[in-house]
Amino acid sequence: MPGIDEQVAHERSWNGLVSRAADGDQSAMSDLYEASGAMVFGLALRILGDRDAAEDVAAEVYAQAWRDAASFDSRRGDAGAWLLTITRSRAIDSLRSRRREIARETIEAASAVAFEGPGPEETNFEAQRRKLVRSALAGLRTEQREAIELAYFGGFSQAEIASRLGQPLGTIKTRIRLGMIALRDLLEHVASPLAGAGRGS
């Protein structure tokens, strides 16, 4: 195990890397990632319990560290503690976001049931809506589109999709989550015209 002097030197070297990053040295941030990445990922994984989500958070941590490097003050603590603070905050935000996304997807799925058996005056509107959704799906990354189509059009559970595609469940959850976010953005610009069409305007 490293001695106290070696540990102090280790922490100081991380502090130096952050200081260099604050001066715009991108290689310093790369070196910091190599040195501390396992520590950051480990904390994110403990909080989230999902490797893919933890990897996303780790990437966000170093992006934020790069942006905020100039605000780091070694007199208030070492770089390792600073990175862990960012990691904890990002991981908790991600956990809350995932819970909100699951709740929103549940509501959206329930809302879709209400559209079954539309009246004659709604048939054309529904056809347009399906066409636009299909068009937006085509704009997603292949793996995201595949997972969403299996979930929402194929009726498969996330566990079944993971088994069918030979991917970890966490990977499938992340693909669906990111795909839904991208899909919402793609459809956002047509939401108002669709609403108007649905009212017969």
The DSSP code sequence of 47-114 is HH--HHHHHHHHHHHHHHHHHHGGG--GGG--HHHHHHHHHHHHHHHHHHHHHHHHHHHHHHHHHHHT
Residue 59 is part of which domain span?
A: 4-96
The answer to whether residue 108 is domain-embedded is no
The answer to whether residue 23 is domain-embedded is yes
117: left (phi over 0), alpha (psi -120 to 50) or beta: left
**Given pLDDT bands bounded at 50, 70 and 90, which one contains residue 148?**
confident
Same domain, 120 and 190: yes
Q: What is the pLDDT of residues 177-201, one digit of tens each?
A: 887 877 777 776 544 444 444 444 4
The answer to whether residue 103 is domain-embedded is no
Q: How far is CA 69 from CA 13, 17, 58, 65, in A?
A: 15, 9, 16, 5
Same domain, 182 and 126: yes
Same domain, 75 and 120: no
Q: What is the pLDDT of residues 70-121, one digit of tens each?
A: 998 888 888 989 999 999 999 998 888 876 666 566 555 545 544 445 555 5
**Given pLDDT bands bounded at 50, 70 and 90, which one contains residue 151?**
confident
The total number of structural domains that make up the chain? 2
Same domain, 88 and 11: yes
Residue 58: CATH number of its domain: 1.10.1740.10
Q: What is the mean pLDDT of residues 126-145?
A: 75
